[in-house]
Amino acid sequence: MMRLSLAQFGATADKAQNLDIIQKFSESAVQAGASILLLPEYSMFYTVSDKPAAFSAAAESLDGSFCTALSAIARAHGLWICAGMFERSSDTRPFNTVVVLNDEGELAGFHRKVKLFDAFGCRESEECRPGNRPFQPIDTPVGRLGLITCFELRFPALAAEQRALGAETLFVPAGWMCGANKVLHWRTLLAARAIENQMTVLGVSQSAEGVFIGHSAAFAPDGTTLGALETQTELLTITL
């Protein structure tokens, strides 16, 4: 029996405020008996204005203030934490990165999004630099964890690759954009990746009216819904 928490919220351009939200979610997750807290893409920072310059200016290194603060939270609560951030690169564009910290606050792994969201009228490649390798699944309290980010959910081969690399559980942090049938796409693709690969899939999206859909959800290997949220800021804790 393993308990984990999915934290849905809408990040802002105020990093301190976002960290305060993460701190509160961490406290609630521990109280609920969870051993790992899963946060959305862009948990560190997000703005709808002045892109891509704002993303570049907000970007930090993996040992910068955001990861240092996450490390302290993870260590204080004895909690694994996964969260999205903008990571500095040698380019003017930052990486869209998700970090995984263990319960001692150590960086256990990270994923730089490879397939950027150049679709539905968006051009993420103008805002971020793509990564060039898949995430290497790591052992966590909820099994061997694989990771793909947001738009990468639309590429079945990427989830299959995580399974082939040994993943038992797949984490999909996202800022899933609003639009026609986008909730249907999100939920259907999460369930499909679970069924195709016979592994638990955990989708955590940001929720911001008119920008991101929310609707975070967890699916069992047979496609059964283990838990789901609507659009509110909320913590969902489930047992595997």
Query: What's the mean pLDDT in 115-124?
Result: 94
Q: What pLDDT, on a 0 to 100 scale, did the predictor assign at position 1?
A: 87
pLDDT tens track for 158-187 = 999 999 999 999 999 999 999 999 999 999
CA distance 100 to 196: 25
| pTM of the predicted structure, to 2 decimals | 0.98
- Among residues of the chain, what percentage have pLDDT more than 70? 100
The two beta strands, 107-112 and 138-140, are: unpaired
Question: In whole angstroms, how far apart are CA 182 and each of 17, 160, 176, 188, 228?
Answer: 28, 22, 8, 10, 16
Question: Which of 27, 88, 41, 33 lies closest to 60 in space, CA to CA?
Answer: 88
Distance of CA 192 to the CA centre of its chain: 18
Cis peptide before 141 (omega within 30 of 0): no
Question: Half-sphere exposure of 114 toward its Cβ, with a 13 Å CA cutoff?
Answer: 15
